[in-house]
Amino acid sequence: MTATREALIRRQQILANFGELVLRSNDLQEILQEGCRLVAEALGTDLAKILEIDRGDGTALVRAGVGWHDDVVGKVRLPLTEHSSESYAIAEGRPVVTQDIAEEMRFEFPSFMKEHGVAAIVNAPIFLPGGLAFGLLQVDERTPRAFDEEDVEFLRTYCMVLGPVIDRLQTAARLGESDERFRLIVEHALDHAIILSDLDDRITGWFPGAAAIFGWDEEEMLGQPVASIFTPEDQASDAPRWEIERAREAGAAPNVRWHLAKDGRRVFLDGQTILLRDATGQAIGFLKIAQDITERKRAEERQSMLQAELQHRVRNVLAMIASIVDRADISGTAEALRDTLSGRIASLARTQVLLTRGVNAGVSLAELIRDELLPLSSGKHTITIEGPPVSLAAKPAEVLTLAIHELTTNALKYGALNNRDGSIAVTWQLQGADEQEWLSLEWRESGLVLQPEVPRREGFGTQLITRRVPYELKGSGEIKLLAEGLWCSIRFPLKPGDSVLQTNIPQRDRTNSER
């Protein structure tokens, strides 16, 4: 009786020691290994082990143990067949004792146990909270032994302590793995802004992606309102508050908008703001997670601009061609009409090639003049093209192209290019007027001896220069026939403009005549 009392006290001390270990250690392997040692000590044997079930292949791994050879713990797997004592104990849900395996007819035992001289065994199943079996605690004896009721109850109690401990540590391990994965994700997802905020929407977590996208570091942003990364116009419209209110009501709110970075840049984010709740369902804050798609957004805008520009330009070219055809002189031969129209359309086409190099591409004034004038000269005439670098927007480029083409065609038919002593000087300069920069271009032909002739009707070229330049370009155009040759002046303000060459000019100016 005294020995039994001492054994019970000793076992209580062992349970207490195990409890202290559990409180100070978060290492599951250490706890299982020490648990085996303490159990073996409590039951007075030198062999004990813990088996962990692997549901994937229907085996149980010797996860921890004392008294076994080095090639057993962590390496040996026991098959959980219908003839194994382990399967039977788990199915019964209680410890199962085999006093002498030599006489046991119900079960088959692994060879490694026989090699270690095991004669008696008790299997105690370990269940996690919820009833899922983790594995078994096995105590082995090298001589036949009738494990009594106190032995079995001690093991059963020990397993009841082990189950919650294993579950806690496995859960902690999973959370640790999850936290590590989350850490790796947020540290490497530099194209995603991940921001945590409290219920007042003040920043409590500013992760590396947010720092990379916005430029502020964590110290600068903790405690700041999330609204500080919204654009001024969105702040003025109270967009941050509406986004948070929608997240409160619906659990999440879309966050697809432009935001403001530290250096003043604007970044476009595509994501959402999510309401965070604790385990009881109480709201505790917000998570804003969004991908930086600034480049994609800008590419989409550029694509949209290109499409709009293309549509715009096609309409404009067709309208201009219609205008050219409408103003063509039909009093001559079909061949003459064809040549005239072909030259004007080709001239317009050359300008379009230059304009379609990119969105809002400019056209070099000097290049435009050379393309129109030099190919039609014979190389025997003196031609001067001189002026500062000027890049023309679409509308003035289209008007000037046709104007230079008409002046060149006229010079070829009637002027300097039709006279071996003729010369042409095209010069321009930039002037300030009305707080704007103006282009002043002059075309001067000389070396001619002009003969009196019957005045011709005002043609397409004259109309273009004297009427369309003022109308289209808000400038002035003038043509004079001097004693030494033709003189032309074109002036207009240089300012960015689209490529619309308006065709709604008053009807009185739509004269079908050729210069």
Q: Which pLDDT does position 512 carry in this prediction?
A: 33
Q: Which pLDDT does position 510 carry in this prediction?
A: 35
Q: Which pLDDT does position 309 carry in this prediction?
A: 62
The phi and psi torsions of 137 (rounded to 5 degrees) equal: -105, 120
Domains of the chain: 2-183 (3.30.450.40), 190-292 (3.30.450.20), 298-509 (3.30.565.10)
Sheet of 77-79, strands arranged across: 77-79, 59-66, 47-54, 133-141, 120-127, 96-98
- Crossing angle for the helix pair 394-413 and 365-373, to the nearest 10 degrees: 30
C-alpha–C-alpha distance, residues 198 and 487, integer Å:
76
CB neighbours of 334 closer than 8 A, spacing ≥ 6? none
Using DSSP, state whether 101 is helix, strand or coil: coil
C-beta of residue 248 within 8 angstroms of C-beta of residue 284: no
Could you tell me the pTM of the whole model? 0.44
C-beta of residue 278 within 8 angstroms of C-beta of residue 269: no
Beta-carbon count within 10 A of 20 CB: 10
C-alpha–C-alpha distance, residues 21 and 25, integer Å:
6
Q: Which pLDDT does position 380 carry in this prediction?
A: 73
Query: Which residue in 30, 14, 16 sits closest to 169, CA to CA?
Result: 30
Q: Which pLDDT does position 511 carry in this prediction?
A: 35
C-alpha–C-alpha distance, residues 366 and 346, integer Å:
18
Cα 359 from chain centroid (whole Å): 24
- Strands 382-386, 423-433: pairing kind: parallel
pLDDT, tens digit only, all 515 positions of the chain: 344 777 778 888 887 888 788 778 888 899 899 889 988 988 989 899 999 999 888 899 999 999 999 999 999 999 998 889 999 999 999 999 999 998 988 898 888 988 999 999 999 999 998 889 999 999 999 999 988 888 888 888 888 888 888 888 888 777 777 766 766 666 666 778 889 999 999 999 998 889 989 999 999 999 999 999 999 999 999 999 999 999 999 999 999 999 999 999 999 999 999 999 988 889 999 999 988 888 888 887 777 776 766 665 666 666 666 656 665 566 667 776 676 666 666 666 666 655 555 445 578 889 888 888 877 776 677 889 999 999 888 778 888 888 888 888 888 888 888 887 889 999 999 988 667 889 999 999 988 766 555 445 567 778 878 888 888 888 999 999 888 889 999 999 987 544 433 333 333 333 333 33
Q: Which pLDDT does position 499 carry in this prediction?
A: 40
